[in-house]
């Protein structure tokens, strides 16, 4: 698995101004525009994740997963 591509995605998510907003609106388009080459399974995972929620909401989802 291309861990590097996901690392690049998260690095840009964290450090690049405007990337987060762009990505939240159009994940696929943003990945293509920035030349991040994810595998099909990574792209499927990216598309099935909700990128709009806050840290707290994400932690709540994880707690629910643990309970299920």
Partner 1 sequence: MLWTAFDALDDIADGDVQTRWPGFDPSELGVMASALLATTAHVIAHSLHDSPEVQAQLHLWIARGLGEMADGQIEDLDNARSSDVTSGRVFSSVAGKTGGECALFAGLGAVLARVSPERQRCFARLGFEYGMANQFVSDLAELSADPHRRDIRNGTRTLPLVWHVEMLERPARDAFVTLLESARRDAAAAERVREALLVSPAYRRAVLQVILHLGRARTALAESASSGPAAAQLAAFLDDVHPFGGR
Among 4, 28, 29, 63, binds partner 1 (CB under 8 A): 63
| CB closer to partner 1 out of 33 and 51 | 51
Q: Does 18 bind partner 1 (CB under 8 A)?
A: no
Q: Does 66 bind partner 1 (CB under 8 A)?
A: yes
Q: Using CA atoms, how far apart are residues 10 and 12, in angstroms rounded to an integer?
A: 5
Q: Does 42 bind partner 1 (CB under 8 A)?
A: yes
The DSSP H or E segment spanning 11 is: helix 3-15
Q: With contacts defined by CB under 8 A, how many residues of the chain interact with partner 1?
A: 26
């Amino acid at each position: 698995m291309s861990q590097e591509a996901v690392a690049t995605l998260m690095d840009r998510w964290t450090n690049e101004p405007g990337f987060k907003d762009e990505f939240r609106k159009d994940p696929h388009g943003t990945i293509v525009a920035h030349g991040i080459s994810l595998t099909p399974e990574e792209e499927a995972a990216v598309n099935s994740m909700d990128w709009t929620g806050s840290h707290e909401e994400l932690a709540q989802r994880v707690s629910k997963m643990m309970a299920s």
